[in-house]
Every structure is written in C-alpha cells, then in structure tokens.
Structure 1
Amino acid sequence: MMKNIAIVGAGLSGASAARVLRDEGYDGRLWILGEETHRPYDRPSLSKSVLSGADEMPPELAEPTWYDDNQVELVSGTKVSAFDLRGRKLELASGWSIDVDGVLLATGARARRLDVPGSQLDGVHYLRTMDDSLAMRTSLKPGMSVVIVGGGLIGCEVASTARKLGAEVTILETADELLLRVMGPMVGAGCRGLLEAMGVRVLLGAKAASFLGTSRVEAVMTQANERVSADLVLVSIGAEPDVTLAAAAGLACERGIVVDGAGLTSVSGVFAAGDAAAWPLRGGGRRSFETYLNAQAQSATAARAMLGCVAREPQVPLSWTEIAGRRMQMIGDLAGPGTVVVRGDPSAGSHTVFRIDGDRVAAAVSVDAARDFVAARRLVEMAAMVSADALRDVNTDLRGLTRATRGA
C-alpha cells in the first residue's frame, strides 16, 4: 500500500486525481506540486469568460479549504527539476526533495511555438495559462485588429470571444478547413460559416511566414505574401505533451508519456494522466488527447489503479466547445474513414453528424443537440451496429437504439 503519493502537476488531472484518491479512502501523505502560483483552476474558461471579462478569474477546481480539510499538501509556484526513479525521490528547483513510493505525472502540455521572424515581438500571444489569458484580456480592445494563427478549437473560441468584444478578427489556417482534426470537414465548414456570419475573416490554406513590426507586432505576412494588419496575434497551432521530467527520468515517451489503459508507465508505481499521457486508444494505437473530459476520466482511472483497483480503460476522444454561441459536443474521430451521416438540418441549427465505419458508429458531433448527444455518445462507446438510415431519420429514437444494441 502506498503511503506517500506525489502528483506532479496542478491542473485538472492533478486536482481530479487527488480528489479521487481521498474519496476512495487513501489516507497516506499526498502532495500536489504545481509550477503556477495559482490553485488549480478551470482552463476552458480562459478562452471564453475570462478572456471576455465576464469572469474576473477562472473558477477554482476545489474550494480553497478543501486542500487543508483533506490533508492535501498543495505546493504552488514550484518546479520539479528531477525525478530519481531508483531512489523514488522528487527534486524541486527550490532545493527541497520529497521521498515517495507513488507518483502521478500530470504535467499537461505546452503550447507549440511558432519559430518565424518577429515571433518575439510584443503583442504575440499564446494561450495556455491564466496569466496568458489575463495578459491578452488587458490588450484586447474594441476595433483593434486581431490575427489568430491556427483554426483549431482554441483559435476558434478566441475568435468568437474577440469578435463579440468588437475586435476585427482574422483566422489564418494552413489546412483547407477549420477544425478538421476534431470535427471533420463538414462540421468544420459549418463552424466557419458561423464565424464568418459574426464578421470573422477566415483565410484557408494560409501560413504565417513572419510577424512585422519594430518593438510591437503590426502585421502578419503570409507565405503567399499577403500582409494582414495585426495589433494583437494569438498563435494557436496545437500543444505538445510536457514529457521533459519523464523523459529525463528515463520513462518511455512517444507522443506523450507511454502508459497502459490504467495509466501505469514503464516503471512500477509511476503513473501518468491527462495531456501528458499517451493513453491507449480503443481502436488501437495511443496518443495524448488534450481534452477536459478525457483528462478527468484518465486521472480517476489512474488514481484508483494506484490504490490497487486496476481497470484498464482505452479511451475514445471526448470533448466539447462553444463557438459563435453554439454548443458542440464531440466523441471519436469524425475525420476518420467510413460514411458521414447527418441527422437534422444544419441550416436550422440543431443537428448531429455521425461517422459510420464498417456499419458501426465510430464518431459523432452534436451542434446544439445535447439530448441527442447523450445517446450518440453511448452508440460510439458501444461501437453499435446501426444503419445510416436509422441515424439519419429524426424520428428514430436514439436512446431506443442504445437499448436495442445493449440487448443484442
């Protein structure tokens, strides 16, 4: 039985794991070690309510008293500089060390950097932390020109927020559609239409070649030699799992810290979860997921495994977002092989898009269709065999399909 557990990382995965450990009866010593000076907080709000000013600060993931009440030693503003696997010791940059017999690495991910001329100019931002969001909020003014490099989830969320604040917004996306990786071309095109209706300018197949300006950014130059005025730039071109500590310690890493379906790394007693972990996919392979819901699920699974309750759970990508006032919920990879089926009328708003692969439901995205998504999620998780006609027919009871599949 582990008596000393340290969680490295004070984001969602770290805070969730600590809560599960205590809820499951772990009564040993428990640390959460975080590099930021803030208590664990909600990151999805950074591109929305915090950036807009609707929330002064992001919601905390636990009441401030929870840590003391549950004897969780939260150490903020500290970096773990080394991990001695053999001696089971964490070395902190402050010079302090912690002896442990169990470690959960929840080190998250870092924003992928864009190395082009002018990338160090003032006014070029990345969005990963509370401080990043607050810095952008201070600079963001009505009427200013905002260029967002990257048309993924965060880029589109920030475009929506900035436009609502009165900024002139341009998205530069290298692919031939927005949100391809998470939503596929059909839903991505729909999101582009929503953003363009708000007044966001979207340039597809456009790559940032340089940032222009003297001390502060004034424009972005594309590889096609188009000059796009910019008072503020957000670079949002994805994230990279933070494996620095794990790799230096000698843990296996490939597109993240390699773990099994219970979060166990290549070394006994050492686990990983969240954006830093390369978790097994249900359909084979492994990768980091970078989603709120997957991070919660992984941290709970890993925490229970640390206590001896091992239930290996390969993951399916699961996420949600709000863009241009529409709520979108996603499960699986809509851009994969197979047939795309649309349920409902996209032009009317609420609809769900399914991907069927080999007659089985492999992915779904719902737009303003939360009730349908509950059933769609179950159909994907069950890899249910359902006909395209049944999914397409709005009179089909999706919940009935899940019950029929479960009983088959």
Structure 2
Amino acid sequence: MSEPGRIVIIGAGLGGATAAATLREHGYSGELVVLGQEEHRPYELPALSKGLLLGDTDEPDWVRDEGFYREHDIDLRSGTAAIRIERGARLVVDDKGTEHPYERLLLATGSRPRPLPVPGADLPLVRTLRTLDDALALRAAFSTAERVVIIGAGWIGTEAAAAARRHGVEVTVVEQAAAPLLAVLGPEVAAVFQDLHSENGVHWRLGTGVSELTGGGVRLSDGTELPADLVLVAVGVAPRVDLAHDAGIDLTDDGGIAVDATLRTGASDIYAVGDIASHFHPRYRRRIRVEHWANAKNQGAHVAGNLLGGQEPYRNVPYFFSDQYSLGCEYRGLADPDNDELVVRGDLAKREFIAFWLRGGEVTAAMNVNVWDDGEALKALVEGDATVTAQQLRESDLSALASS
C-alpha cells in the first residue's frame, strides 16, 4: 500500500494520541486529524484510580505536552465527537456537521462504564470512574462522604476502595463473586488482596448482587440495606463500537471490532486499537481483546507503521500494574486461573512473591507483588517459548531460566 495523504483518527485517548504522535515520529507528513469527545487534551488512565484519586497529584499523565500537537501539525479537535462513518465516500461526520475525508481511518474510541441494570442507577449519589472529570469529582466526593459502597471488586473497584480509605471514608465493597479479582487471579492470590483490604478497614459483601439503589444507599439481592451517601459502580466497561457497527464493520462475540494480526478491520483502509480491538494474536492463535492502558498505548504505537503501508503483526502480551496501600504489582500475560497451575515463588503471607500460571510447561502469565528485580526475566518467560517446571520457577535463577 502507498502512503496515505490524509489520516483521520477517531478517539483522542491514549491509543489514538499515541498513534498520531508515532506517525509523525515515523516521518509521516500528510494531513492528520484526531477527533476527541473530551475537552481535555489526551491523557493516560492509570493515575485516575491511583495517584489522582488518592490526592497525590492533581493532573493525569498527559500523553504529550500541550504544544506538541500544534508543533507537529496534528489537527486535534477536542470536544468533537464523530457521529457517522461513510465508508463509500471515505469520510467521517462529526457532531458539528463537519465532514472529514480520509484515506486511512483509525478507530480508537475506547470504552464506557457499564451501567448497573437496577432501579435507581441514575440517582445523584451514583458515580462511575472512567474520565479525568470523573476522577476529580469522585475525589472531591470522598472528602465529604462518610460511607461509600463500591459495587464491583475488579481493579478499578479495589483501587478506588484503597483511595477512599486513604480519605478516611467507611467503605463496603459488594461483589457477586466469592472474592475480589477472582476471575483474573484465582482464589489463592485473590485472597491476598481480600486480606489486604480487610486489614485496612474495608468491609466485604461477597457472593451477592444488588437489587436496587436508593436515595439512602444500596439494597442487596438478599434484602440487606447498606446505607451510603456515595455509590461507585465499577462493574466493568463496554467497548464503544456503535460507529463501527453502524458503518457495517464486523464485530465479534466478545463485543469488539474484528481486526487481524496487523490491527486492520475487514475494511482495508480502516484499523482499530485499544479496548475495542478484538485482534488475532499470533502467540495465542486466537482473538483476544484487552482493556488495559498499556495495550492501547502499545497498539497505538504499532499501528502507525501499518497505517503507512506496513504489514507487521502485533505480538505484545497484555500488561498492567496496580498499587493498593503498600502493595504494588505488575501482571504480564494471559492466564486461565481455572485451568492453569498456580506456582508461587516467595511468601503470599508477607505479600512479597511472584505468581506464575503454568500450562503444559509454558508460562501463560506472571505477576510480581512487591518484588521488583525480575521484570525483564518475567517478560521473557511469558513471551518466550521456554518449557519449564513448577520446581524451576520456584527455585532456579529466573534470568537464566528465561534465556534457556
């Protein structure tokens, strides 16, 4: 494919903004338009549920300095939402009626918080956490709230619980599963996080759902009333694929946009990255869709070369990190805790360990908790083809094991 004269990017989050910056770094000199719904310039999401919500900072990590887009001739249209893609005419129409012709189009529309399908979900005391404005409003609410109920014990829910406790708020977390983070970590490692929060004063209501949100709090499915003056709904996100659907671009069973290993959709001039991209991963030999910030950033950087005519498959494995109280961790890979063998190197009770998930001698995922010296070895073990045993993972030098 020849280099396009004009590229339009829908979505000014981390994926879209990184793609735009990388295009210029690759020497692309054509017209480059980025459409973003938010008024803020592009920023990264991790600080929203960590440093910013804790009160350690007042700003997120900006993708680029304020003047970068102007200096690099990137037409960043903040506060502008795309409302329609006309594939035949190869143009995007925004909410102001402006038409944006394209030769290549990148979809980087991200996700929205999933609503809780119960009565009262739209009451004023109910919040979600996805944007910078959400985080600032939630932090302000933590400073005045006395009792907070958090619905959902995934990464956002648990990080928000830690932040609320920092602000001195009484916190109850409601989760349908039997433990926080259970689907990602399995029962043994999930118990580490449950105990950590319990020691820091968080109350748990596990194995139960919500039947109604009221002006005074939360009514659980077993009839229990949890009084609250603030409710955070953190039950996951839904990919923003409406534009793609309406344009006739193929979607997948996992709710994403179907893209190949190069991140290209079934339309040869349209690509997708980030939360919305259900891409065929060469390592896993199947489609995966990842909702973590590093995936959006790395795919945004990678797709730039393919937008300019490259055909390189995206091979990075998933990565994320979390900070909760005195616990810090990094996770690499893609485990199936129900079927993979858990191997622990270190001490779960002391919260200083590395957890491996092993399948057929292959490390499917690794998570280091308050252990910081082995990151490169863990990355190599997860990405490589080495066949290892549980005993080797517990006892051998990890760098040597990764290079064997």
Distance apart, 1:135 and its partner CA:
1.6
**What is the DSSP-based 3-state SS (H/G/I as helix, E as strand, rest coil) of the residue aligned with 1:342?**
strand
What amino acid is aligned across from residue 65 of structure 1 in structure 2?
G
What amino acid is aligned across from residue 340 of structure 1 in structure 2?
L
Q: 1:384 to 1:142 in 2, by over 3 A?
A: farther
Cα offsets for 1:163-207 (capped at 9, x unmatched): 011000111010111112332222211011111111011221021
Within the candidate set 360, 364, 380, 1:362 is matched to 364
Matches of 1:168 and 1:253 in 2, distance apart? Answer: 42
Instruction: Extract unaligned runs of 5+ from structure 2.
Output: none
Match of 2:135 in 1: 133
What amino acid is aligned across from residue 125 of structure 1 in structure 2?
R
- 2:236 equivalent to 1:235: no
Match of 2:400 in 1: 400
Matches of 1:324 and 1:380 in 2, distance apart? Answer: 27
Matches of 2:316 and 2:177 in 1, distance apart? Answer: 27
Match of 1:258 in 2: 258
TM-score (norm 1): 0.95
Moved more, 331-340 or 22-31: 331-340
What amino acid is aligned across from residue 43 of structure 2 in structure 1?
Y
Q: How does 1:67-82 map to 2 (within 5 A)?
A: 67-82=69-84
Distance apart, 1:231 and its partner CA:
0.9
Q: 1:80 to 1:142 in 2, by over 3 A?
A: closer
* RMSD between aligned residues: 1.4
Matches of 1:52 and 1:358 in 2, distance apart? Answer: 41
Distance apart, 1:20 and its partner CA:
1.1
Matches of 1:272 and 1:381 in 2, distance apart? Answer: 23
Cα offsets for 1:246-298 (capped at 9, x unmatched): 11111001121110111100101100000111122432332320111111221
Distance apart, 1:332 and its partner CA:
2.3
Q: Between Structure 1 and Structure 2, how many residues are aligned? A: 398
Match of 2:313 in 1: 312
Distance apart, 1:52 and its partner CA:
2.6
- 2:301 equivalent to 1:300: yes
Cα offsets for 1:276-332 (capped at 9, x unmatched): 111224323323201111112211221111112221124532211112231111122
What amino acid is aligned across from residue 205 of structure 2 in structure 1?
L
Contact 2:192 2:351 in 1 (8 A): no
Instruction: Extract unaligned runs of 5+ from structure 1.
Output: none
Contact 1:256 1:287 in 2 (8 A): no
Q: 1:338 to 1:57 in 2, by over 3 A?
A: closer
Match of 1:111 in 2: 113
Distance apart, 1:45 and its partner CA:
0.9
Match of 1:322 in 2: 323
Moved more, 100-109 or 316-325: 316-325
Matches of 1:68 and 1:203 in 2, distance apart? Answer: 50
- 2:196 equivalent to 1:198: no
What amino acid is aligned across from residue 309 of structure 2 in structure 1?
G
Moved more, 268-277 or 371-380: 371-380
- 2:6 equivalent to 1:8: no
**What is the DSSP-based 3-state SS (H/G/I as helix, E as strand, rest coil) of the residue aligned with 1:114?**
coil
Match of 1:41 in 2: 43
Cα offsets for 1:211-233 (capped at 9, x unmatched): 122xxxx2111101111111100
What amino acid is aligned across from residue 235 of structure 1 in structure 2?
V
What amino acid is aligned across from residue 164 of structure 2 in structure 1?
A
Within the candidate set 381, 384, 387, 2:383 is matched to 381
Cα offsets for 1:100-157 (capped at 9, x unmatched): 1011100001111112111111110011111111221222126610110000000000
Match of 1:176 in 2: 178
**What is the DSSP-based 3-state SS (H/G/I as helix, E as strand, rest coil) of the residue aligned with 1:57?**
coil
Matches of 1:142 and 1:370 in 2, distance apart? Answer: 36
- 2:52 equivalent to 1:62: no
Distance apart, 1:374 and its partner CA:
2.5
Matches of 2:127 and 2:179 in 1, distance apart? Answer: 23
Quote the sequence identity (%).
37
- 2:226 equivalent to 1:223: no
Cα offsets for 1:323-363 (capped at 9, x unmatched): 22311111223325231110001122220011110111111
